[in-house]
Structure 1
């Protein structure tokens, strides 16, 4: 099972990498292809959802952690839902995506935009990339603290009831990587 997860992760990264190479060629109407908010939010959403499902498959059920997010709308019954349903799976995925965009907006506003104002064109890309990566890790850490410790139980992500602490760390790490993708794309667009 461990090797399947590694292979699945590699496949997901190849798909994301291939998709990101197309970003500059086929932008969505009204969305800048290098927007940290949009691409970072979507990458954070997809990567963390992939980890939720992979770890869920190992620890409970594949969709259990995604379904658990729908407890915002449907209460405690969502925490026990294992099967794919429009009510729980679609709602959980939508709430997770919206939350990802919220944290990506914070990352864009607090980390990416100020950095790019100070360093509009980086002569050394790695010098500008490092603060973007550190900022993404910081925002992911803040998101974890807020999601798991500071908000009322009804507003927690819910998946913490279905996964181990190790899986939670991996989920928020993947989330941070997704945020960093958005920042790095925006940096790439400025070069």
Structure 2
């Protein structure tokens, strides 16, 4: 199978897991630091609804829905790059937490140092630096666990469910 097809499939699984775990972290840190579980996700939608998305605390499809969809898509993108890099650089090697952490560190560098302000994650406006580390750690762990789950699915059935 084409390595990019495999990377895309793995990226969907790993990125979805990464999105779920990091969204849970965003919700927990948001509740603790802002009193709103939706505030960090709402802030992600600032690329569409700037600047008001950065200040909305209540959940809504307009802000929370767009924020979650954006965060989920970005998680899949980074997990796909992780999978592609692993397959192209070290074919056949199983996923590693160190590789997922390195990919997530690159994601944070790109998100906060190389991306125009309008396209940053947005939740950095609502959360502390400590919380950001927690969110990116959850993203790395989710990427790793999702990649492992994909490999188990692929190896156990000879194919994936999609």
Please say if 1:147 is aligned against 2:111.
yes
- Higher-Rg member (1/2): 1
For 1:24, the equivalent position in structure 2 comes to: none
Aligned partner of 2:28 among 16, 41, 54: 54
Q: State the Cα deviation string for residues 104-156 of structure 1 (Å, max 9, x = none).
A: 110110024643x344xxxxxxxx45xx2111000111111111121010010
Aligned partner of 2:60 among 69, 85, 98: 85
Give the TM-score of the pair, scaled to structure 1: 0.72
Please say if 1:64 is aligned against 2:29.
no
Please say if 1:108 is aligned against 2:102.
no
Bigger mean CA offset, 132-141 vs 63-72: 132-141
Give the aligned CA root-mean-square deviation in angstroms. Answer: 2.0
Q: Is the 8 A contact 1:47 1:175 kept in 2?
A: yes
Q: Is the 8 A contact 1:136 1:177 kept in 2?
A: yes
Q: In 2 relative to 1, CA 70–90 (structure 1 residues): closer, same or farther, beyond 3 Å?
A: same
* Equivalent residue pairs, number: 149
Shift of 1:82: 0.3
Instruction: Structure 1 unaligned segments of length 5 or more: list them.
Output: 1-30, 120-127
Give the TM-score of the pair, scaled to structure 2: 0.84
Instruction: Structure 2 unaligned segments of length 5 or more: list them.
Output: 157-162
